[in-house]
Structures are given as C-alpha cells and as structure tokens.
C-alpha cells in the first residue's frame, strides 16, 4: 500500500561537502588520546571542515545548484525553499531567503528555516511532499546542511563535520518516487544547545538506546506497518550517521544485511554533517542505485525524532545523475589540515575578529 500514490518524489538531488579534512589522528594528538581507540569506538577516519568563508548558507546554495542541474528545471519553478540546520548563520534572519536569491528562486515562494537537530533536512522533504501532493506547488526545495560546532576536546569533535544536501520534490519527471513516510518524535533531550551558548551539550551514553536507536527503530517500524512492507522489500538502507557505529548497530538490530547499508556510510570519510548526514548518505545511494531498487531512509534528530521514507528508484535516475558532481567527487576531493588551521576555520580561537 503506497502512501503517496500520486507520484510525488525526488526530481533532482545534490550534495556539497567542503574540501578540507582533519584526521582522527590529528585531533587525538592534540588531546592526548589514542587514535586507535577513537577509531575503534567511533568507526570514523576523518571529517570534513568548512573553509573560513563557508557556512550553512553557502553549502546549501552549492547543493541546491546541483539539485537544480539534475532536476533540469528553472529555479523560478520552485514554490518553496526550506533550509534545515542547527548552524544557521543568523539566529534571527532566514538562511532560506539568501539561498533562494542566490539560486534565482522567488520572490513568490514559501521560504523558511527549520531546526530539529539533525532531522531538519528530512522534515523539510516531508513539508515539500505535502505541498506538492496538495497541488499547492509544483516543486519544493528541501535542504539539510550544517557546519557543525563541537566543543574542543569533547568526543563529538571527532565527528562533527560540515556538509549538506538538497532535494527537489515534485510530481513531474520523478526519478525516485517517495512511496511513503513515517515520523516518530518524543520529548527526549539527548543533545541540546541553549541560546547564547557556542557549543552543544549531550547525554553521552543516553544518546544511544533511548534516543537514536528507539526513534529510528520506531520510525522504521511505523513506516513498514503503514506501507505493508518488510525490510526484505528494501535493497538499500541509509540511516543517520552520528558516527560509523550507530548505523551499523541499528542495521544489526533490525537484521539488515551489511551489504545493504555499507555503501551509504559516508561518515567514515567525511564525518557527521548533522542536518546533512543522512541526506548526503541518500545522495550517495542515489548516485549508484539501479532502477527498480527501493531505498529505506531514516534520519534522526536529537530532541528527538526520526523520519523514515520508502523511496523507489526508476529509470530516470540514470538520465539525471551525471548532470552534477557526485557524492564521491566531493568525498574524494580533499586537502588535509592540522588542528591549528582547523581551529582557525571553526572560529574557536579567542580574539579573532574577522
């Protein structure tokens, strides 16, 4: 049973990952930790670092341009631009309007910033699906992007990264049909940041079972029930990637074979780009998925909630995927930096004015 029988789906997609990388070894060196232990516990080798002139807005613009190139539509056809992030450059003043003007969309559009930790981007997809399904807009642009901040010396510093992905949702020339979706949210504070604070705080092990695992599991379970599907009906799986271990552990708990999820694990090489994380994983999957394959996507945002989607790829994906840089092009394009340069890029050095 398909939730969205009207053929609503992904018309275009694209991601962007900044080119700088810092290795686990380098961060571990500064804090006197054993990189072997860190890699073993987090399942990550290195993470992406934004340039000093990059932020959530610039990342969103680049990802959106890639999505537009694949969609082959004019930005004027967009009826909505939603930017989901937990690192919007302004607390008050939307990223979405800057992105819209930079890509040539609007002004007669719905533009909005959203926040739900790492889930904001996937929730933007749901918003666009609704507007398209209702016939209210022809195309909606859903973006998830972050330049994630982590407290220096905290465990999150090894994984908090920068990146983003954009999806154009529509009804015409759909390359991947979104068959259905299910959201599961509760008030579970596993990771948070108060007004005026530079860095988030988190509940350490509390971020595991009661948070990530419960919500992803419930969202996936709810989706399967709603669509009368089983996990065997899916060929590929993408989960939110806070590190390289959680998605694998979730897959193991749900008895999903490794082959179905391994290709989407971009986190090992580029880290966790928060609102971009699962969506960049989806981009990687769309880069290689074959017509007829069904993809399971489950995002996760602290606070907490998960959006699960069933996505069915069709032949049009083959026609459009080469029209913009692929996820691996960004993953493989890299330049290593040391911790001092990393601190300069992340603006954690006191007293730097500009």
Q: How far is the CB of 83 from another protein (least distance, A)?
A: 13
Phi-psi region of 228 (alpha: psi -120 to 50; beta: other; left: phi over 0): left
CA angle at 288 for the pair 240 and 259, rounded to the nearest 5°: 60
- 27 CB-near residues (< 8 Å, 6+ apart): 38, 157, 158, 339, 342
Nearer to another protein by Cβ, of 41 and 332: the residue is 332
Question: Which residue's CB is nearer to another protein, number 70 or number 88?
Answer: 88
Sheet strands side by side (includes 335-336): 46-49, 20-23, 335-336
User: Measured from the CB of residue 189, what is the shortest distance to another protein in angstroms?
Assistant: 28
Q: Supply the residues annotated as catalytic.
A: 86, 118, 240
Taking the alpha carbons of 320, 299, 168, 312 in that order, is the dihedral positive or negative?
A: positive
Taking the C-alpha atoms of residue 132 and residue 271, their distance in angstroms, rounded to an integer, is 32
Residue with tokens 């072997």: 36
For another protein, the closer of residues 103 and 227 by Cβ is: 103
Helix axes 246-253, 214-227, angle to 10 degrees: 50
Q: How far is the CB of 294 from another protein (least distance, A)?
A: 34
Chain residues in the site for another protein (CB under 8 A): 51-55, 57-58, 61-62, 65, 89-90, 93, 98, 101-102, 104, 333, 344, 352-354
Rank residues 172 and 333 by Cβ distance to another protein and give the closer one: 333
Nearer to another protein, 89 or 257 (CB): 89
Exposure string for 171-205, b = 16+ CB within 10 A, e = fewer: beebbbbbbbbbbbbeebebbebeeeeeebebeee
| Distance from C-alpha of 108 to C-alpha of 150, rounded to nearest angstrom | 37
The nearest distance, CB 352 to another protein, in angstroms, is: 5
- Rounded to a whole number of angstroms, the minimum distance from the CB of residue 272 to another protein is 23
């Amino acid at each position: 049973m398909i939730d969205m029988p009207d053929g609503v789906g992904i018309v275009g997609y694209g991601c962007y990952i900044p080119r700088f990388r810092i290795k686990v070894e380098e961060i571990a060196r500064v804090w006197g930790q054993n990189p072997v232990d860190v890699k073993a516990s987090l399942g990550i080798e290195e993470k992406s670092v934004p340039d000093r002139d990059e932020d959530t807005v610039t990342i969103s613009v680049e990802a959106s341009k890639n999505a537009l190139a694949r969609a082959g539509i004019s930005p004027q056809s967009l009826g909505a631009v939603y930017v989901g992030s937990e690192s919007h450059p302004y607390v008050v003043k939307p990223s979405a309007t800057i992105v819209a003007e930079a890509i040539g969309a609007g002004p007669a559009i719905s533009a909005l910033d959203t926040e739900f930790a790492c889930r904001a981007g996937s929730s933007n997809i749901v918003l666009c699906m609704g507007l398209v399904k209702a016939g209210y807009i022809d195309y909606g642009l859903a973006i998830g992007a972050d330049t994630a901040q982590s407290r220096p010396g905290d465990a999150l510093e090894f994984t908090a990264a920068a990146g983003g992905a954009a999806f154009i949702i529509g009804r015409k020339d759909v390359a991947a049909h979104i068959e259905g979706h299910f959201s599961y949210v509760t008030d579970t504070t596993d990771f948070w940041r108060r007004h005026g604070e530079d860095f988030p705080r988190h509940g350490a092990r509390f971020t595991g079972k009661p948070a990530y695992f419960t919500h992803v599991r419930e969202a996936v379970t709810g989706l399967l029930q709603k669509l009368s599907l089983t996990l065997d009906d899916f060929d590929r799986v993408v989960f939110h990637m806070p590190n390289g271990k959680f998605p694998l552990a979730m897959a193991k708990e749900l008895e999903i074979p490794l082959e179905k999820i391994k290709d989407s694990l971009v986190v090992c090489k580029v880290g966790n780009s928060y609102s971009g994380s699962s969506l960049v994983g989806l981009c990687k999957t769309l880069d290689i998925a074959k017509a007829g394959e069904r993809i399971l996507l489950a995002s996760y945002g602290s606070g907490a909630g998960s959006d699960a989607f069933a996505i069915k790829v069709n032949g049009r994906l083959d026609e459009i995927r080469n029209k913009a840089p692929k996820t691996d092009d960004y993953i493989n394009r890299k330049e290593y930096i040391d911790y001092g340069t990393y601190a300069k890029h992340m603006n954690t050095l006191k007293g730097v004015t500009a």
